[in-house]
Structure formats: C-alpha cells, structure tokens
Structure 1
Amino acid sequence: MKAILLGRTDRAVDTIPYAQLFPFFDNKKRLRHELNLHVQHIEARALDIFESVGRQANADIFFVRPCWREDPVQVETMVQELRHRQPSSQIIFIDPFDQTSSRFFGVLPYVDHFLKYQRLKDTSQYHQPLKGGTVLTDYLARKLGYDLKEWSVQSTIPEGHESRIKTGWFVTLHKPFQDVLFHQPRFWQRKENIKDIDVFCHVSYGPRNNLEWYGQHRILGIEKLKCLAPDYTLSVSGDFSGEQTISSRQYSRDIKRSRIAFSPFGWGEITGRDYEAVCNGCLLIKPSVDHIDTEPNIFIPGQTYVPVRWDFADLEEKCRYYLTHPDETAQIVYNAREAYRAYFTKHHFVRKIKSLVYPNTSVEPSTKSLVSASS
C-alpha cells in the first residue's frame, strides 16, 4: 500500500512541521514491515505543490499537512480537489494548529480523518460558541476578564462531521526528546541526578507592548510561584520577547536539577515543556487538562501529573504538598516517564497509523491502561 506524505520539513524556517512529521521517518521500516505501508514524503512548502501532487500522483493514502499560515478557503479548495481526483484514496489531514480548535475544519467533508495534536475529548463541544474558539480562551475571557483583542482560532464544523476529528500525536516524538528520555547517565555523570532546585518554571510572556492573553495568564502563575521563595529554592522567571533573562544552557541545566516543573498553558493547553519536565525527571504540575485527549498521554491526574486550577488558586498549596511528600512525588515521576517511554517501546505511533488506515483491526491497549496497570 502506497502513502504520500505532503508537508514541509525545513527546520531552518520552523522546527514544528518537521517534528510533527518526524514519526513517519523514524518508523518508516516498521510501517513497511508491519503494515505494508510504503510512505513517500514530498516536500510541500506551498499549496501549489499540494495541488500538483494531487493532479499527478496516485496513492492509496494521502497524509496532508499544510502550513498554519495558509488561507483556510484555499486549503479547503485544495483538499476538495484532491478528493475529487482521488475518490478511492484515504485522505488524512494533519492539522498544524496548536489549539484544540482549527481554522481548517472546512476540509472535514472531504477527509477520512482530521488529526489534532490535542483534541477535545467531548467532540460535541466543538459546536459550542466559545470566545477565541477554545475552551481555554473562553474561560480566560469570561472568568478572569482577559481581553482577547480579537484573537481567535476557529472555524465552523460541518454538522455531523465532528467524529472525523481524531487524536494524532504531539510534536514531542523527535530525537531531542527521545535522547533525554532514554538517556542513561554514566558513573561520572551522577551529578545529573542531583535535585537541588525545588521548583522550576521559565516562560515567555510575549511582546511587552502588546501583552496577549497567554502572557497575562503566565504572569499570574509566576506570581503564585514566587510566594514559595521564602521557604524553597526556585528557578522561576518570565520575560518578554527580546528580553531573555536565562540562556538555553542555563534552562537545560536547571530543569535537570529540579524536583517540580510547573508548565502553564501557551497558545494551547499542552506544550513541549510538559514533556521536557517528564524527560528530566521532574514532577509535572500544570493547569488541569482533563478535557483534552493527546498522545503520548502523560496527563493522568494524580498518576502521571498534578493538575491545578486554571486560576492557580491551589498552585502554591500543591507545590508545598509534593515537596514534603517525596515518595508520592517519586511515584508520579516514575509513572509519567514510563507512560512516555511506553509510547516508543510499544510502538504506539505505528499502532495509531494502523488504527487509521485499517480501522477494522484491533490495536494494543492505550498508554493510559499500561500506566494504570503499573501504578
């Protein structure tokens, strides 16, 4: 079975598209041997390349991943034309938006699956009117009074097509994350295991002169963490764009030495920082993501991470509790690492693709059930 993977991988321009497509390259042999799926990648930096391939190439499956900057109407037209020319092929759309929402939902009638980094567990929520287009932005606007400044990522979902919105995989499957997650320190590297920082959090607030809603929310979280300063050792700061207060080297050094890593929301609820925390053996504390489905699933409350309220009212309390209960902390850290590692060792990406292209075949237990069984 032949598949064509359409998307850009130029890391000099943007590392995220490459990270999202990397699992196809990393699992190329296994996809071929286990699923008889031969994946050909075509570098598609603009929609005219997508259109050209749709006119000229034949394949059983098309994986389509456009740039988030593309015009939604043009993307819908492109996918509609691809469906017209390839009526018997599967079309699997890989959405580029960080949020649970998307500007590309208009393609839903023409695709077999629409994959999200992070998806609402209850897909009926996609039909609810939400300020800014997401549950997160709606909460911040309605409950905390944040001005979204016309910021919005949303589009109308054609009625009856929400079931095509599926959970894909987060952009933390590429080598840098794997290298840290599976790293085994040599005897001369034992200092790497020393945890002499209690709480870690370094974030960007965005532009100082045009503070966005996510920057306001992060400032609130940082202020709550600083209440711990009299009693604990912190590596905590926030800075504005172009005013970096900590180097990348210091960031990497400090997160390795930290017991707790607090990871606030960004443009979307789940961020790469969540997985960095787990890779480096930190207890992940972040605002609750019970409404989200994502893979690898390291977000099982009380088992693989510690959720806090979205207004951070309990953030200080949760930090203090787990800093004084090291055994509970160690168990959650262990569970999270095992859940993340299992995604690779149990080849869940290949099973994900199998579930999409061979929907009537059984797949292995999810990461969640594996963690629950080991806890």
Structure 2
Amino acid sequence: MGWCPCSGNLDKAEKKKNKKLTRRHSKKIPSDKLKVNSESDIKKDSGSNHIAAYTFTFRELAAATKNFRSDCLLGEGGFGRVYKGRLESTNQVVAIKQLDRNGLQGNREFLVEVLMLSLLHHPNLVNLIGYCADGDQRLLVYEYMPLGSLEDHLHDLPPDKNRLDWNTRMKIAAGAAKGLEYLHDKANPPVIYRDLKCSNILLDEDYEPKLSDFGLAKLGPVGDKTHVSTRVMGTYGYCAPEYAMTGQLTLKSDVYSFGVVLLEIITGRKAIDNSKSAGEHNLVAWARPLFKDRRKFSQMADPTLQGQYPVRGLYQALAVAAMCVHEQPNMRPVIADVVTALSYLASQKYDPNSRPGQGSWSASSTPRARREQ
C-alpha cells in the first residue's frame, strides 16, 4: 500500500520559522534508550552517543490528525494506518504512521526504523521528522509526499488518472537506485534495505522518489564476511531466491528486489498477480523467457504507454532489469553500475510527439555494468 511523505508548500519565511521551532522542540535521545533485542542489530559508526530525533506526545499527533479522523487517512497496511496531519507547533504538513498494537510490525521494527532514519540522510530516502512512544502508542512522523507511492501510479489506476510517461518512469527508477546506492555504498556499515517494493517508493510533487519503511533493514556484512544470516522477511515476489531458500542476506538480495521493481516500472505489471493466466502470475517467471529474444522486448512494454517510448531505451532498461533478477547473485550488477545505466537512460529525454515506438531519442550505448565475481 502506498502512504507518503515531503513537507507542505511553505514559503521560505515559513520554512525558516519552522526550522527554528522544530529545533527548539527537538530532544536528543540517548541511544541506550532505544535498544532493540540485539545490540548487534544496530551499531553506530559515529562517535556520538546520541541520536537526533524529535519526540512528540500522543496528544500532539492526535491534534495534528484531528483525532485520527477518517478523512485524514492516507492508507493502511500490515503495520497499521497512515494519516495526513499538520503539526500545530510548526504548521508543517506531515504523514503520521500509527503502528497497530496487534499488527505485524512490532516494537523491534519501530525501533529499527527510528534508528536507521535518524542516522541515514539522502535526497532519495524519506525524511523521518520524529516519533511518539507514549505508553503503548507507537507512531512515526515523516515528511509528507503528496503524490503517494509508485504503486499508486502503476497498478489498478482509475480511468481518469494519468499514466506515467517513459521519461518519468526512468527518472523514478534512477532516483530509487540512487537511494539504494547510498545504503549499500555510502552508509558505513552498509545497510541492506530488505523491503524494496513499489509501495515503499514514495513520490514528491516532482515525481522524485524516496525509499521509505526501514523496519526490516539490516546492517550488511563487513570485513571478509559475504552475508548476514537472518529470518526470511520481506514481500513475496520481491525476495531474491537464494535469500528465500537459505536466509543468507547480501547486498545482491536488494539488487534482485530492485530488478523486480524496474520490471514493474517498464511493464506496468505487478510482481505477483493472481488475476493473470497460469504462467504469468509471477512477473520474473513471465519475463525470463522473453529476455532471451530481443524481438519480444516490445511485448514487455506497458500497454498504457501506447508505444510512446524509445525502442533502444526500452531494450537497455530491460537489459538492466534482466541482470538484476539473475538467479545467480554474483551475476547481478552492483547497484552503483545500475545507477550509472539508469541515470544515463533518465538523461535521454524522449519526445512523446514523435512517431510511436521510435522517438527523437539519440544515444550511444549505455555503460556496461560490471559484475562481481
């Protein structure tokens, strides 16, 4: 399901004022107050003993959502409900996730998300404003993302909703890959996201994507270790096969999940769709035979594009997706190379007024992705 973050449309003066107010009401929380079941699950590489996160009372968040009124509801999932709200102290529009006390996401996932998003900052990661832990209430406060999730723009669209054009799809794919690259290559130690899917990619008013929902994130292997062993968690249809079978989690597990998302962006199909005929329920299983014949690539383009895409761009995007969902983890590209390829594709603007299926799209071949051996 897709709920969402980015701040409301405040002018510069308001933003400056809000920044001061927020800073005044913020509180540094000692990290030992936020311990999860195992201290090894969350380690900070910085020398600081404190994590900057804003704390809210339940009363403040109830006021922001008009007592969690139904017309403020953005959506709900296994974790609980997400509401649109406005903070009285700053007048900032936010998204407030209220964890269901009997839901699937427990206290540990709540703590992991607070810690992860307090420590990780990137334009393609959702911004956590703060949290509430009053009594048995667990709430997370994010920037509000006005366009919802990628899922909202790809699947089960009402007839009056605009379909994503090719340029916007490549922009979203490249931005999501950059968020994942930050987790894998810039965070220290690296972070394995573990729950990459369309409903967790949120869009701001300019269709810039941000990864959200870090409750399942894990610290990746360090030193000479190749993987971390953990319970198999995630969403069916997005999990890498080797992780699902062995519980051995690697950075390449995320790359597989990204490949599934990229296929959804290109084809408009769901990762798992039981309404399809036999053999087409699983997106990757449906796509694999088609990857072997370039003449069938055009069959994989989302029909709602109505032929308005660059043929070469389609082929190259499908080639990236095919490498990402390779059954052998060591044959998948590293995410940095995926970012290089997709950033290139996103930079090649397609003219939708050109002849269908052709387009005024000129490009040399995309950089070839390295594969780790």
The TM-score normalised by the length of structure 1 is 0.28
Structure with the bigger percentage of helix: 1
The TM-score normalised by the length of structure 2 is 0.28
